[in-house]
């Protein structure tokens, strides 16, 4: 078993934030950064060329910190690896499957859990209608493009009635920002945020657009002006 897999097993079972201090072909030094970096747990491993394996040489296996909810080392890449699927197939059914078949199986499993992205976008109008039903007086806009006779999603704007009404008591300042969406189809999320009398943030409206540009910002701000005034 690779040393990295061993470290990840320790992370998963202990629920601690570990940090790689040294990590090369001959040595691995891991320490715990819990309790604001004061935890005393550490482990040092060295590689033995004669046996082509790793040896645990030093360890202080006592944590002086509590379990962590967020573990930085648990990356998406590690969690989505197909080797675990292949290994479990060998152990459970005594048969081997190819890497491509394991990856396809994981894709189908995620599709069954979350549904296909295309099918979710087809229901965008249902989502918009549900938002307006649950929040009467809200503004929800869906913009699509006609491509070869098909309606393709382009933009989605939401300004909830409660947020719209609350802006009356806010300071006359609106902050704007945007960030990338890391889903299958990408896009960007643009937001408008106000400040209430207690100097707390109040979300006013948000929009999902194809890309951050003058046209998408203008579309967003024009709708925002219609909702909260100029």
> Is residue 82 very low, low, confident or very high in pLDDT (cuts 50, 70, 90)?
low
Q: In whole angstroms, give the CA distance from residue 175 to residue 193.
A: 5
Taking only the tens place, the pLDDT of each residue in 109-128 is 666 655 667 778 888 999 99
> Is residue 135 very low, low, confident or very high in pLDDT (cuts 50, 70, 90)?
very high
pLDDT value for 71: 73
Mean pLDDT for the chain?
Answer: 84
Is 94's pLDDT higher than 70? Answer: no
pLDDT value for 112: 65
pLDDT value for 14: 78
Mean pLDDT across 222-230:
90
Contact 158, 207 (CB under 8 A): yes
Is 1's pLDDT higher than 60? Answer: no
Mean pLDDT across 147-175:
91
Cα–Cα separations (whole angstroms), residue 228 to 81, 168, 171, 204: 47, 8, 12, 9
Q: In the chain, what are the domain boundaries?
A: 1-75, 79-114, 117-229
| pLDDT, greater one: 230 or 142 | 142
Mean pLDDT across 86-93:
63
> Is residue 138 very low, low, confident or very high in pLDDT (cuts 50, 70, 90)?
very high
pLDDT value for 185: 80
Is 183's pLDDT higher than 80? Answer: no
Contact 67, 4 (CB under 8 A): no
Is 193's pLDDT higher than 90? Answer: yes
Residue 228 has φ and ψ, to the nearest 5°, of -110, -5
Is 11 exposed, middle or buried, given 0-12, 13-18 or 19+ CB atoms closer than 10 A? buried
pLDDT value for 83: 61
| pLDDT, greater one: 27 or 82 | 27
Mean pLDDT across 220-225:
96
Q: In whole angstroms, give the CA distance from residue 122 to residue 145.
A: 13
């Amino acid at each position: 078993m690779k040393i990295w897999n061993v470290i990840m097993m320790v992370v998963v079972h202990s629920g601690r934030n570990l940090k790689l201090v040294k990590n090369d072909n001959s040595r691995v030094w891991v320490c715990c950064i819990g309790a604001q970096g004061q935890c005393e747990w550490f482990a040092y491993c060295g590689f033995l060329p004669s046996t082509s394996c790793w040896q645990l040489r030093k360890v202080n296996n006592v944590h002086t910190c509590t379990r962590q909810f967020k573990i930085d080392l648990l990356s998406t890449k590690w969690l989505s690896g197909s080797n675990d699927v292949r290994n479990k197939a060998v152990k459970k059914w005594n048969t081997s499957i190819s890497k491509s078949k394991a990856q396809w199986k994981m894709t189908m499993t995620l599709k069954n859990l979350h549904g296909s992205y295309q099918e979710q976008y087809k229901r965008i109008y249902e989502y918009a209608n549900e938002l307006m039903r649950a929040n009467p007086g809200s503004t929800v806009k869906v913009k699509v493009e006609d491509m070869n006779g098909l309606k393709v999603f382009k933009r989605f704007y939401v300004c909830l009635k409660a947020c719209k009404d609350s802006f009356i008591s806010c300071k006359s300042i609106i902050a704007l920002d945007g960030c990338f969406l890391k889903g299958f189809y990408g896009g960007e999320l643009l937001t408008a945020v106000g400040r209430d009398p207690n100097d707390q943030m109040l979300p006013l409206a948000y929009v999902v657009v194809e890309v951050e540009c003058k046209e998408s910002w203008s579309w967003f701000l024009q709708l925002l002006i219609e909702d909260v005034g100029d």
